[in-house]
Structure formats: structure tokens, C-alpha cells
């Protein structure tokens, strides 16, 4: 078996992307578990996770690593969160904001098994209701499919340290159905530019056709 570490805590195993399972023997979705040299890895499906898709599409700036503190907006049922939880290990903290009750029920189950994940059942627009619990973070991750995605990045960016990175899956159709996607992305970049410098933008096709994956650095 060929195991290659492509970023801190992110592996390619026989061509498949994977993270080292923080909670051995447990699965979060339909991923495969692979054991090697007393470690266990979980395959990471790029069709289920835009971060995995971005890594496979040659993401250059990956700042999520062992010990990172991460604020995640739009945690859903915890698929991508669980892989970030694997990467940041026991010393990291992952704050998972989600406002859907249905998704939160599944997310709670994932968080109960992973001590570095903290569920926050809130609307990402109500920052003042969770800011104190989160504090300052190294990384902001946003995958919300909301019309006001840019405004929510600016608002929650207040918790991101200066020079920290924000990873954003931008859904053009949620922001505007009438404008061409390229124009929507340009307007998004312009709107956040007073606070965020665009570092790279990645087309994550064929894994996902609806989003642009963008990486920003806080000014």
C-alpha cells in the first residue's frame, strides 16, 4: 500500500484521498476505513466534500493542520467537519455552526464521538450569540449556500486572526439566478476585498458544478 502525505494530516492512499481517523473503528458516512501500521485512515470523498474536491483540484494553500482552531459555518451533518476534525487532531478545536434542526441532530452524534468538535445550533448571522464561545480562530470555513454569503464572511471574519485563511464554497445560484456565475464571483470578491485578499480560486468540477471554491487571507 502506498501512503503519501500531501498536506499535514491529509494523505493519498493508493490514489484515494484520506485522513487519519481520530476515533478508530467509527465511520461518519459511507467512507472506507483502511488500516496500516497501527493507524487507521478514512477515505475522503470529493463528491461529498468540497474541501476534498479542492485538494484534488490542486489547492495550493492548505493552512488547516494539527492544532488549528477552526470556525465552520454550514456544518450540515458533519461530513467535511469530521475530516477537519481528523486533521486538527486532539490539540485543535472545530466550532460547527449549523441552523437546520434536522442536520444538527446528525451533527450532534458526530460531535459526541469527537472531543475536538463543538456544535453550535445557531444562525451564522447571529455572531454575537456564539462569538464568546469561539474566541479567535486560525481558520474560517464557510459552505452556506446563502444569498448573503459575502456579508456572512465579513461578519464572521471578525473572529479570524489577522493573516488567517478563509476557505469559502461560493454558490452563485444562491446569490443570484439572473447574473452569470463569473459576474457573481467577481462581485463577491470585490465585496469582501476591504477585509480579505483573494489567494486562489478553484473550479471544483467534475466533483461539484454549482460552486467556486475560494481561499482568502484576512488583511
Ligand X SMILES: C[S@@+](CC[C@H](N)C(=O)[O-])C[C@H]1O[C@@H](n2cnc3c(N)ncnc32)[C@H](O)[C@@H]1O
Q: Residues interacting with ligand X, by CB under 6 A?
A: 49-50, 74, 76, 79-80, 97-100, 103, 123-125, 143-146
CB of 62 to ligand X, least distance (A): 16
Q: By C-alpha distance, which of 172, 217, 209, 207 is closest to 54?
A: 207
CB of 18 to ligand X, least distance (A): 16
Neighbouring residues of 170: CB distance < 8 A, sequence distance ≥ 6: 149, 184, 185, 188, 211, 212, 213, 214
CB of 75 to ligand X, least distance (A): 6
Of 56 and 146, the one with the shorter C-beta distance to ligand X is 146
Of 144 and 192, the one with the shorter C-beta distance to ligand X is 144
Of 87 and 219, the one with the shorter C-beta distance to ligand X is 87
Q: Are 204 and 165 in contact (CB under 8 A)?
A: no
Of 3 and 23, the one with the shorter C-beta distance to ligand X is 23
CB of 102 to ligand X, least distance (A): 8
Of 125 and 217, the one with the shorter C-beta distance to ligand X is 125
CB of 143 to ligand X, least distance (A): 4
Strand-by-strand arrangement of the 93-97 sheet: 117-120, 93-97, 69-73, 137-142, 160-171, 211-218, 196-203
- Tell me the C-alpha distance between 150 and 167, whole Å: 12
Amino acid at each position: 500500500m502506498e501512503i503519501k502525505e500531501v498536506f499535514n494530516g491529509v494523505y493519498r492512499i493508493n490514489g484515494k484521498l484520506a485522513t487519519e481517523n481520530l476515533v478508530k473503528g467509527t465511520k461518519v458516512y459511507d467512507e472506507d476505513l483502511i488500516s496500516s501500521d497501527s493507524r487507521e485512515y478514512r477515505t475522503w470523498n470529493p463528491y461529498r466534500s468540497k474541501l476534498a474536491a479542492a485538494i484534488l483540484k490542486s489547492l495550493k494553500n492548505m493552512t488547516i493542520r494539527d492544532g488549528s482552531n477552526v470556525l465552520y459555518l454550514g456544518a450540515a451533518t458533519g461530513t467535511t467537519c469530521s475530516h477537519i476534525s481528523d486533521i486538527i487532531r486532539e490539540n485543535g478545536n472545530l466550532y460547527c455552526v449549523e441552523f437546520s434542526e434536522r442536520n444538527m441532530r446528525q451533527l450532534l452524534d458526530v460531535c459526541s464521538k469527537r472531543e475536538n468538535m463543538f456544535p453550535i445550533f445557531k444562525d451564522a448571522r447571529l455572531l454575537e450569540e456564539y462569538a464568546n464561545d469561539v474566541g479567535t480562530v486560525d481558520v474560517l470555513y464557510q459552505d452556506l449556500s446563502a444569498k448573503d454569503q459575502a456579508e456572512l464572511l465579513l461578519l464572521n471574519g471578525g473572529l479570524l486572526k489577522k493573516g488567517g485563511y478563509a476557505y469559502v464554497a461560493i454558490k452563485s445560484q444562491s446569490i443570484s439566478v439572473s447574473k452569470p456565475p463569473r459576474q457573481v464571483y467577481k462581485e463577491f470578491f470585490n465585496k469582501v476585498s476591504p477585509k480579505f485578499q483573494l489567494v486562489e480560486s478553484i473550479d471544483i468540477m467534475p466533483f461539484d458544478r454549482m460552486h467556486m471554491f475560494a481561499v482568502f487571507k484576512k488583511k
